[in-house]
Structure 1
């Protein structure tokens, strides 16, 4: 009788007793993977908010330095500890109030989803975000053009070798004293760039408050064939510092 009672168990597959446990391990593995994925997404979002953020290039305004579809890594720490944007830096900034009017309010949930996608570099930048090169800082006098067709900063002509081949430094003449705490910015592809020149008559006067700078574009992270640092330029090395506030020759507004 005891022998016959064990026959049904002998007919079961050898691993029958292990199947429930194995299924549980797989289920646990899937849950673990989901938790890891959520944790990584949270880490990336935090990094994107505080440290570095991918930024997708939407236009030709910074060619040849940056091309449409490039994803640049924006260093948000670059100006967090007292450092200020310098001439020649490629910066990403919020143009609200300077390049664009204050945008209409959007649905909070849609805004949160869109913001998360942008923080991960999965969506095009907000319509208020721009990437340009700093040509003048607060206190500088920026003028175009000299007899050689070049931009002058504080009386010194600048050889802008980063410009798109065939472009002139500017088809628009201007003479601006950059107010303290602001930046004069221009694209490298001048004929395709809507920049400080195009906003001279706007309420912001064409300049961007330093406080609206999101960070400095330091690296091209994608596509893989474009992996590289955004090269620094020596174009402004000969430009002298602007006059100190309150000294003769200092001031703000248009020159």
Structure 2
């Protein structure tokens, strides 16, 4: 092997982005609770990282589906198997409307740089789990804590640094990663993330903020919980978004799709 061939063999894997890069109008479904319905004729499934068995992920991939695994990167969920790894020192305030009596609650995470020695390895382990289970990518949730009453005074800069770190760590593992909500930071993050996922942009008239992803030829996945598909689907299709309608519990039932019938 000559020197030029050696250099090419070394550099191609580095500069070739092997992870999933969905284009606009990619079809998808989103189910985070209950037994996964594997029969839907869509290109991408977004499912829970912890709760979904490896066998289900394998079945979806054998059927040609891309599998994205959901986990919360910006909140502490006291029912997750790695909950004991989070000390109280990295917890902010309880998330509004996300505390189910005494059994399940969520707290905002203090993702400031000073806490990354604790939080970083936990999130890296979750990304490793996604890779080991066969996920093609990840959907990290609650990565817009700075816009909420988080109890720890997160700043725009705190969030931006954390989100860029998440994208880098996902890509180190050849995992695709989506930007969840966090609309105001899109101009600075569109280059770091492979696609976007947003909730209720049509309901709140915020969809134009997602166009930088479309302009970069990257998919935008939208989930609406209210409103009529007859109203928002024509707009969605014109904007080249991939929009679904679902119930808040995301149990896979009573769903509607703008792009396909499943």
- With normalisation by structure 2, the TM-score equals 0.20
Higher RCO (CA-CA < 8 Å; seq separation 6+): 1
- With normalisation by structure 1, the TM-score equals 0.21
Higher helix share: 2
